[in-house]
Structures are given as C-alpha cells and as structure tokens.
Structure 1
Amino acid sequence: MAALTGWDGILDDGEEILWQGAPDDGLDFGSFWSVQTVSAVFFAGFSLFWMAMAFHITSGMKDGFGQVLNIVFPLFGLPFFGAGVYMLLGRFWAEARLRRNSHYTLTNRAAYIGLDAKGKRSLERYAIGPDMRLTLEDGDLGAVWFASKVNTMPRRAPSMGRSRARIGGATFSTQTIGFERIANARAVYAMMRKLQIERAEIEGDKDA
C-alpha cells in the first residue's frame, strides 16, 4: 500500500483501495510554449540588457570607487535574471521534483493525492460523487483531472497555474488537480466513471 503507507486509520470503514500509482517524474516541457515563457524571455533578456548597460556606464570610472561600482552595480540585475531563468526552465525541474514526491491512491469512495517532501507530509482527499467533473487526458503518459482550486498571489508574482486572472491587486491562479502523467490513465478514468455511476444510483435510491 505504497501511497498510503504510514497513514494508518485514514480510510473509512468499508473503504477499499482499487488502484495506486505515482506520476512519472521525468521533465515535461509540454507547456513550454506559453505566455509565461514569453514573459520569462522578456524578463531574462531585459535583465541581461540592464547588467550590460550598467557595466558599460560604470566602466569609464577609473577611481577606486568607480572600479568597485563597476563590479557591484551590474550584479543588482542577477536576482531578476535568475527569476527569469527559473520561469523559463527551472519551473520544469521544480514540477518534476514535486511529482517525484507524490503518490496517488484510488479507493471505492475517494481519490487521494499524497505528498512527502522536505520532511513534511500532506494528504488530500477528493470524494467521488456524481458532481465530480472528470476529464481524461489520453496518451502514453495521460492524466485524469477531477478537481481545481484557486490560488491567490500578490501582484506581479509568477503564476504556475494553468490559467490566471487579475482582480484588483491580486492575481488568481486556477490550478487543475488530478492524477497526472500516469501510464494507465484510461483505465483509472474508467474506474472513476464506474464509481460515479454507482454513487449516482445509490443517491437516486435514497431520494426515491
């Protein structure tokens, strides 16, 4: 029971595990061509331009203070350049590392996503019901999406979500949640659809 190891007592009475797995932890550049990539290129490019101009302007200062300024002043652009490089490429390594520490479990009642990283553990439970919106992303490494959440970020913060909107002084990022980059996505989707139908029939009998 890899995905729920150490989570004794988590499952309800009568809850049974139907499937367990983990996302592929390889680098996924499928979302490389995006608005975020364009922003990252502009951000990193402008930082390089700023550092080059700062170095050029201060290179003519020959006194001791000018020589120090010639070294230090351009370095102020490094944090912005680093942020641009992260937005461009580093985010893919961060996402792969997150998947490497993630585990999935499907029971006859809910979908679980466990995370064990940096000494901290978390387990999210998503009850399966008729109202759960299932989306199958088919392929050798597919996905089954079944939930979403909205994250609030300060203005100008980079968004890692699939979509985002700005309202007032904050950026709202919509994050899609599910079993991603799994080899048997179609089979898992079929199991979840069957559970939905069974749950709908049970609730229909209760209402009758």
Structure 2
Amino acid sequence: MVDTNDEYVRQEVFRNELLSDETIQWTGQPDPYVIFTKADIFLIPFSLMWGGFAVFWELAVLGFLFDSSKHGGPPIIFPLFGLPFVLVGIYFIIGRFFFKAWKQRHTFYAVTNKRILIAIGNAKSIQAVFIKSIPSISKSIGANRIGTVVFGISNSRWWDYANTGMEWMGSRYGPPPPSFYDIAGADSVYNIVNQLRDDSGEKRF
C-alpha cells in the first residue's frame, strides 16, 4: 500500500492538473487523527437526543417497551415511519466520523504559484481556485499547531457543519469557500498564499 503522506505521492495526484508554467509550492493532507471540531459541542448532544428518541420510538412501537399484544400490535406503518430516523441517528452519532476519516485519508491539498487545488479520491474530483481571485484568507490554529486555512468568505452558519461529516446540512447556506482542513503547518500555508497574493498584486486581508 502506498503511503499517501509521502510528498512525491501527493505531488503525483496533481501532476496532470497543472497548467503551463505552474509549479507546486506545497502539498498536504488533513490529519486523520483530528476527529472533533468546535461544532461538535452542539452536534454531539443533538445527535444523541435525536438517536435516542428514534430508538425509543422504534422499541416502543415494536412492543419491546410496552405490552401491546392486547391491542393487536401497532400498524406496520409506525415502525417503518421511525426506521429512517433511526438510520439518520446512527449516522449522526457515529457514521459521520467514519465518513470524515475516510474523506480525510482521500483528500489532498496543493498550493501552486497560481492556484490552490483540492483533490478528493486521487484527483477524481478537483476544486481549483486562482490565488489572485481569492477575496480573503483566514486561519485557525489549534494548540497542537494543526489548523485550517479558509480561502474566501461564507455564511457563518455554514461553519456549524463544516468538516463534521454533515456538510450537506449546511448546503442551504450557500457554497462553502475552498478550505484546507486539519493540516500541519497551517501558518506556513497561510503565509505562502499571502505572499503569492502580494506577488500577484492582490490586497491582503
């Protein structure tokens, strides 16, 4: 198995995506050991309440909590109605963390002299943004020096779901800005991109 933490392997992911005169300045991946975000302070209690109620409903209508034999049992529609809520609850509680871990291991980031690039699944899905078109850059760094760099501006409500495995719930707030999540050396990436913006004549924010 190829070690995707290897610099050469990461560069190869983007090799066929480069424009003429474009060179890679930095590559990286999300740290797969970063599991939680600040949003989980809200999402974990919410998911436990959702999942707990959904399981309680299913057990109740199936007769595991109350004796419903005297009444012939509940209509079949009741347990069928609750099943999607149970499945969603399982995903909220634990499934999203497995999805996030999978996505982290299959996501690659690159900064070139012209663009920022994000590849998911060995370049099967590519997001590219020209550095000179980035309106703003922000960063957040954790105590372990692992951080996130955001290239652009988005609705603040989006960040309730960003990088949690539940990003689809934030889609109603508009598209998210390109972001490098949970990367080592976030300070360095922030400085590299800002320097490239300066070199292109763009104003720094």
Give unpaired runs (5+ residues) of structure 1.
151-158, 166-170, 204-208
Kindly indicate which of the two structures has a greater share of residues assigned to strand.
1
CA 1:23–1:164: 2 relative to 1, 3 Å: closer
- Higher RCO (Cα < 8 Å, 6 or more apart): 2
After superposition, the C-alpha distances for 1:58-77 in whole angstroms (9 at most, x for unaligned) are 844279xx58x799964753
Give the TM-score normalised by structure 2: 0.72
Deviations 1:63-105 (A, max 9, x none): 9xx58x7999647534322211211332122112111101111
Determine whether 1:94 maps to 2:99: yes
Residues 138, 162 of structure 1: alpha-carbon distance in 2 compared, 3 angstrom cutoff: farther
Unpaired runs of 5+ in structure 2? Answer: 1-7, 156-164
Distance 1:48 1:141 in 2: 37
Three-state SS of the structure 2 residue aligned to 1:135 is: strand
More displaced stretch, 76-85 vs 1-10: 1-10
Matched letter for residue 52 of structure 1: L
Which residue in the other structure is 1:111 paired with? 116
Give the aligned length: 183
The aligned counterpart of 2:176 is 175
**2-structure distance, mates of 1:141, 1:200:** 29
Instruction: Measure the CA separation in 2 of the matches of 1:148 and 1:28.
Output: 24
- Between the aligned residues of both structures, percent identity stands at 27
Shift of the alpha carbon at 1:187?
0.7
Rounded Cα–Cα distance in structure 2 between residues aligned with 1:39 and 1:199:
45
Shift in CA distance, 144/29, structure 1 to aligned 2, threshold 3 Å: same
Distance in 2 of aligned mates of 1:160 and 1:6 = 26
Report the aligned-residue RMSD: 3.5
Distance in 1 of aligned mates of 2:48 and 2:19:
49
In the alignment, the residues of structure 2 paired with residue 161 and residue 70 of structure 1 have an alpha-carbon distance, to the nearest angstrom, of: 35
Maintained 8 Å contact 1:58/1:70:
no
Structure 1 residues 148, 177: closer, same or farther in 2, change over 3 A?
A: farther
TM-score, with length taken from structure 1? 0.71
Give the distance between the partners of 2:168 and 2:198, measured in 1 at CA. 29
Match of 2:10 among 3, 10, 27: 3
> Does the residue aligned with 1:23 lie in a helix, a strand or coil?
coil
- Where 1:142 maps in the other structure, the secondary structure is strand
> For residue 32 of structure 1, what is the amino acid of its counterpart?
D
Which entry has the higher C-alpha Rg, 1 or 2? Answer: 1
Which position in structure 2 is the counterpart of 1:43?
Answer: 50
Classify 1:6/1:164 alpha carbon distance in 2 versus 1 (closer, same or farther; 3 Å): closer
Query: Which residue pairs with 2:160 in the alignment?
Result: none
Instruction: Give the AA of the match of 1:82.
Output: L
SS in 2 for 1:197: helix
Matches of 1:10 and 1:74 in 2, distance apart?
50
Residue 131 to residue 79, structure 1, CA distance change in 2 (3 Å): closer
Letter in 2 for 1:33: I
Counterpart contact for 2:140–2:148, Cα < 8 Å: yes
AA of the residue aligned to 2:92:
M
Corresponding residue number in structure 1 for 2:166: 160
Question: Deviation of residue 29 (structure 1)?
Answer: 1.6
Residue 135 (structure 2) aligns with: 132
**Cα gap change, 1:130 to 1:76, in 2 (>3 Å):** closer
Partners of 2:30 and 2:86 in 1: how far apart? Answer: 31
Corresponding position of 1:184: 185
